[in-house]
Amino acid sequence: MTTRQSASLVLGGETEQSSRGLLRPKVPPDADDTAGARDPEPLTAMLSLHGLAASRGYAIGRAVVLGAAALEVSHYRVADDDIDAECQRLTHAITVAREEFARLADNLPADAPREIQGLLHVHAMLLADPMLAQEPLTLIRERHYNAEWALTAQGQLVGEQFAAMEDEYLRERATDVQQVIERVLQVLSGRSPLMLAGAGQASLDSEPLVVVAHDISPADMVKLRGARFAAFATDLGGATSHTAIVARSLGVPAVVALGHVRTLARDGDQLIIDGEAGVVLVNPSPKVLRDYRDRQTAYAAERADLARLKDTPAITLDGIRVGLQANIEWPDEAAAALAAGAEGIGLFRSEFLFMNRRDLPGEEEQYQAYAAVVKAMAGRPVTIRTLDIGADKALDDEATVATNPALGERAIRYCLARPELFATQLRAILRASAHGPVRILLPMVAHMHEVRASLHAIAAARESLEQNGVVLAPHVEVGAMVEIPAIAIAIEPFAESLDFLSIGTNDLIQYTLAIDRADPDVASLYDPLHPAVLRLIANTINVGARYGRSVSVCGEMAGDVSLTRLLLGLGLTQFSMHSQQLLDVKREILEAHTNALRTKVAAVLNRAEPIDPSSL
Catalytic residues: 242, 554
Q: Phi/psi at 517 (nearest 5 deg)? A: -65, -10
SS (H, E, C) 276-325: CCCEEEEEECHHHHHHHHHHHHHHHHHHHHHHCCCCCCCECCCCCECEEE
Q: For the residues of 54-121, what is the DSSP string, one character each?
A: EE-SEEEEEEEEBP-GGGS----BPPGGGHHHHHHHHHHHHHHHHHHHHHHHHT--TTS-HHHHHHHH
Question: C-alpha distances in angstroms, 265 versus 66, 198, 214, 321, 468?
Answer: 11, 12, 11, 49, 64
With b for 16 or more beta-carbon neighbours within 10 A and e for fewer, the 396-430 pattern comes to: eeeeeeeeebbebbbbbbbbbebeebbbbbbbbbb
Q: Phi/psi at 445 (nearest 5 deg)? A: -80, 135
Question: C-alpha distances in angstroms, 300 versus 58, 249, 251, 561, 581?
Answer: 9, 17, 11, 18, 16
Q: Work out the number of other CB atoms within 10 angstroms of the CB of residue 60.
A: 21
Q: CA 419 to CA 267: how far, in whole Å?
A: 56
Q: CA 8 to CA 31: how far, in whole Å?
A: 21
Q: Work out the number of other CB atoms within 10 angstroms of the CB of residue 35.
A: 14
Q: How big is the chain by its Cα radius of gyration, in Å?
A: 26
- As beta bridge partners, residue 177 has none
Q: CA 299 to CA 382: how far, in whole Å?
A: 32
Q: For the residues of 186-207, what is the DSSP string, one character each?
A: HHHHT--SS-BTTHHHHTTSSS
Question: C-alpha distances in angstroms, 26 versus 30, 34, 40, 269?
Answer: 12, 16, 17, 22
**Which residues are within 8 A (CB) of 440 and not within 5 positions of it... i.e. 6 or more apart?**
383, 384, 386, 426, 429, 458, 476, 477, 478, 479
Q: CA 405 to CA 394: how far, in whole Å?
A: 11
Q: Biggest alpha carbon distance in the chain?
A: 85
Q: Work out the number of other CB atoms within 10 angstroms of the CB of residue 204.
A: 8
Q: CA 259 to CA 236: how far, in whole Å?
A: 6
